[in-house]
Amino acid sequence: MRQTVELLIICYSVLMNLLTFIVFGIDKYRARRNRYRISERFLLIMGLLGGSIGAWLGMYLFRHKTRHIVFVIGIPGMVIMHIGLIIYMNIH
């Protein structure tokens, strides 16, 4: 049972990070072409729901949202929080 839960958590995490990375790329693409944008709130929620590493990679690989303090501090904070949660779950 525990292995199944761990596998589901890993799959969820990989999927959320990949999806968040892609969404950051799409928003950067739209920003360059003055098209309808994805809201900052949605980008932050994606990171909070498990896509923090994908968001962090997207920020720096696409050079997107790197001047917004809420992203510069918030996304790395989410990464630390998610790593702490993983460590906590493995201890207990």
Is residue 90 scored above 90 in pLDDT? no
pLDDT classification of 92: cutoffs 50, 70, 90: confident
Is residue 33 scored above 80 in pLDDT? yes
Give the integer Cα–Cα distance in Å for 19 and 35.
20
Structure tokens at 8: 């589901």
Domains contained in the chain, number: 1
Please compute the mean of the pLDDT values over residues 68-76 and round it to a whole number. 96
Q: What is the pLDDT of residue 2?
A: 82
Give the DSSP letter of residue 65.
S
Q: What is the pLDDT of residue 10?
A: 92
Question: What residue numbers bound the domain in which 10 lies?
Answer: 2-91
